[in-house]
Structure 1
Amino acid sequence: MKNVTKNDVSFNVSDDKQFAYFWHTVFPNHWEDFTFEVLDHFLHPDRNYLDIGSWIGPTLLYAASLAKQSFGVEPDPVAYEALKANIELNQELKEKITTINKAMSFKSGTMNLYKRTRFGDSSSSLVRSLSDDFQPVSVSTLKDLVSDYQITDLSLIKMDIEGGEYLLIPAMRKYLKRYKPPLYLSLHPEFLKSSMKKRCPNSSEKKLQKAYFKKVKKLIQSLDMYDYIYLSSSERIEKSKLVQALLKNDNPIELLFTTTSFNLKQS
C-alpha cells in the first residue's frame, strides 16, 4: 500500500506493479494539474460528481474527498479491478464512491472494448484503432445510467474515454441542455482518426478528412448550450474558433464547458 498526495488531498493506493510507476512518479509531479483545479473549483460536499472513464481512480479518489457522492464509470476489466482494490484501501471514502463497470455510449446493451496496447493501460476504447483485440462490455446511455443509479444534482461531469466521446456526447445533448452541468472533456482526435482509417482503409485522405470534420462539428454542436469554453491553459476559446482549432490538433486536448465566466486560476 502507498499513500499518495495531490494538492491537499491524500489517499491510499495499491502497490500493484503494473501501476506503480504512475503512482510513484507521474501522479505526484504535475500530472494534469488543470484537471485538479477544475475538481477543486466545482466539487462541493452537498453535490455529486460523475467520472466517466475513472481508470484506476486518480480523479475519482481525489473527488471523493470533495463531493457528496462520486460515481465512477470504468469498463476496462483490468483497470476496474485495480480501481476497486484502491477504493478498498480507503474505508473513510468508500461509502462516498459508487463504481460502475460499464462503458457509456449512444446505446445501452453490449459493445466491444478494444485494447490499444494492453488492457489497463488507460487507452482501451470503444473505437478500434491500433489493435483488433477486444472484450465485450456492458454499455449504457447517460439517460439509463442516471436512472439506474439515481444520479442527480451533479456539480461536474468529467469525461475521458479515449475517442468514445465522439459517440457519447451527441447522445447526451438532451440531458446537458436540460441541466447544464459543467463538463470537463478530454478529446482524443488521434484515436478517432486511427479508427476511421482502420474501418475504411481504401478511403482517400480527403474523404476521411471530410468525415472527421463532420464528427467534430457534430460533437461541438451538441455542446452549444454552454456559453464558455476553456482550454487547459485556463484561457477561454470562442465557440466560433473551436472547430477549426480542433481540426488542426491531433494531440489529446482538455476542454472545460461551463455556463458561467470565471478565471479558473484565481477561483
Structure 2
Amino acid sequence: MTDIEINKKKDKAEVILEGEKLGDFNPQQIWDLAEELRDYTIANSESFSEIPIQNISVGNINFNVHPLNQPDFWNLVNKGDWEPETYAVFDRFIKADTVFLDIGAWIGSTSLYGAQLAKETHAFEPDPVAFSELKSNKEANAEYSWAKKLMIYPKAVSQFNGTAHLGSKNNGGDSMSSMLFADENKSWKVETIDLDSFLKAKNLEGQPLFIKMDIEGGEYELLPSLKVSLQKNKTFLFLSLHPEFLLQSIRAETNGKFRELKTRIAFFKKHNRLIKSLPYSKIQHADGRPINLQKQLIKALFLGKFPHTILGFS
C-alpha cells in the first residue's frame, strides 16, 4: 500500500506522500481532491498498468479487492451497509470443518469472506464479466494463506454436465445475469456442472456443506434437482430467491384469456415444487425468524409474492 501520512495542523491537514510533503490542505480541498482523484482513476482505469487495491473490512474479516468497476458497491460493503444479515448467517453456520459452496459468487463479496471461515471454498460464477472480476479479486489476496483454500470456476451449477445459455438485460457483470434471460441480446453459452458429479470428483461427499445459492431465478429449476443430494449430505442452505424475475418470465410466456390468473397459478406451482425439494426441519428468514411456508404459498397465489431469502437446516 502507498505510504500516506496525514497530520492535523490547526484547521488544516499536512499531507505527506512517500516521505514528500504535498502541502497543507483545508477540509474542502481534501474532499475535492479525493473526489477528483477517484473519478480520474475510474475514468482512466484501462490506461493504467497497475490496478489499485482497496482493503475491505467486514467485522473482524478483511480482504482486498480491485474496486474500479464497482467502487460504490465496495464502499457500501466496507461501511457495513451491504447485507449485514448475510455475513451474520455466514458467521453462524460456516465452521472450520465446513466446505463452503458459493453458487453464484458474482465478484467475490461472499467468497472472499466465507473463505476465511471455511475449511475450503468453491465458488461458481458463469457470467464471464463477473468471473473476470472474481478472479482479479482473488489474486489481490494471493499473499494470504486462506486464498489458497478458495477455488473458483467459470461454470454454472446445473441439473447436468454440459452447456447452457445465460443472459443479461444489461452487459453482464452486474449480478443480474440469469438463465431466465437467455433470450436477451446479451447472452453467453456457458459450461454447466452437476453438483453430485462435482462433490464426487472433489471427494466432498459426506462432508458438512454450507451452500449459498444466488443465481437470479435459476434456483427454481436447479433446486428441485438437488433434493437427493441435499438429503444425503449434511447441508446448510442459504437461498436467495428472485420471485419478481420468475413472475416477469412467466407473464411474458403467458397469453390468452385469464392471463394474470394463469400467471399466478404457474407462479404458485413453481414455489410449491421448490418448497417440496427442501429436506430441512427448520426453515427461516436470514434474521432467524421462522417461515410459515403454507402461508407464503397462499401469498404466492393471491399476491404474487414470496420471501427473497430462505435459510434451511436440520
Q: TM-score, normalised by structure 1?
A: 0.89
Deviations 1:108-163 (A, max 9, x none): 21111010222000000011289343111011221122223333413411101100
Find the residue that maps to 2:196 and give its secondary structure: helix
Q: Residue 190 of structure 1 corresponds to which residue in structure 2?
A: 244
Q: Residue 74 of structure 1 corresponds to which residue in structure 2?
A: 125
**Shift of residue 245, structure 1, vs aligned partner:** 4.5
Query: CA separation of 1:257/1:33 partners in 2, compared to 1, >3 Å: closer, same or farther?
Result: same
- Map 1:168-247 to 2 at 5 A: 168-202=222-256, 204-223=259-278, 225-247=279-301
2:89–2:286 Cα contact (<8 Å) kept: no
The answer to whether structure 1 residue 256 and structure 2 residue 308 are counterparts is no
Find the residue that maps to 1:182 and give its secondary structure: strand
Q: Residue 146 of structure 1 corresponds to which residue in structure 2?
A: 199
1:128–1:198 Cα contact (<8 Å) kept: no
Q: Partners of 1:180 and 1:242 in 2: how far apart?
A: 26
Query: CA separation of 1:74/1:179 partners in 2, compared to 1, >3 Å: closer, same or farther?
Result: same
Q: Partners of 2:255 and 2:102 in 1: how far apart?
A: 34
Q: Partners of 1:201 and 1:27 in 2: how far apart?
A: 46
Find the residue that maps to 2:291 and give its secondary structure: coil
2:208–2:234 Cα contact (<8 Å) kept: no
Q: Which runs of 5+ in 1 are unaligned?
A: 260-267
Bigger mean CA deviation after superposition, 159-168 or 147-156 = 147-156
Larger radius of gyration: 2
Find the residue that maps to 1:81 and give its secondary structure: helix
* The one of 59, 66, 76 aligned to 1:25: 76
Q: Partners of 2:87 and 2:220 in 1: how far apart?
A: 24
**Shift of residue 244, structure 1, vs aligned partner:** 2.7
**Shift of residue 26, structure 1, vs aligned partner:** 4.5
Query: CA separation of 1:147/1:2 partners in 2, compared to 1, >3 Å: closer, same or farther?
Result: same
The answer to whether structure 1 residue 9 and structure 2 residue 61 are counterparts is yes
Please, what is the CA RMSD of the aligned residues?
A: 2.0
**Shift of residue 94, structure 1, vs aligned partner:** 2.1
Q: Partners of 1:257 and 1:181 in 2: how far apart?
A: 9
Deviations 1:76-105 (A, max 9, x none): 001001001000011213211011111122
Bigger mean CA deviation after superposition, 103-112 or 19-28 = 19-28
Q: Partners of 2:91 and 2:221 in 1: how far apart?
A: 28
Question: Which amino acid counterpart does residue 191 of structure 1 have in structure 2?
Answer: F
Q: Partners of 2:163 and 2:78 in 1: how far apart?
A: 32
Question: Which amino acid counterpart does residue 109 of structure 2 have in structure 1?
Answer: P
**Shift of residue 192, structure 1, vs aligned partner:** 1.0
- Map 1:44-193 to 2 at 5 A: 44-91=95-142, 92=144, 93-128=146-181, 131-152=184-205, 153-193=207-247
2:94–2:118 Cα contact (<8 Å) kept: yes
Q: Partners of 2:100 and 2:89 in 1: how far apart?
A: 12
Q: Partners of 2:262 and 2:185 in 1: how far apart?
A: 23
Find the residue that maps to 2:267 and give its secondary structure: helix
1:43–1:63 Cα contact (<8 Å) kept: yes
Q: Partners of 1:246 and 1:151 in 2: how far apart?
A: 36
Query: CA separation of 1:135/1:164 partners in 2, compared to 1, >3 Å: closer, same or farther?
Result: same
Bigger mean CA deviation after superposition, 180-189 or 25-34 = 25-34
Q: Which runs of 5+ in 2 are unaligned?
A: 1-52
Bigger mean CA deviation after superposition, 170-179 or 136-145 = 136-145
Bigger mean CA deviation after superposition, 89-98 or 182-191 = 89-98
**Shift of residue 251, structure 1, vs aligned partner:** 7.2
Residue identity over aligned pairs, in percent, reads: 37
The structure showing larger relative contact order (alpha-carbon pairs under 8 Å, at least 6 residues apart) is 1
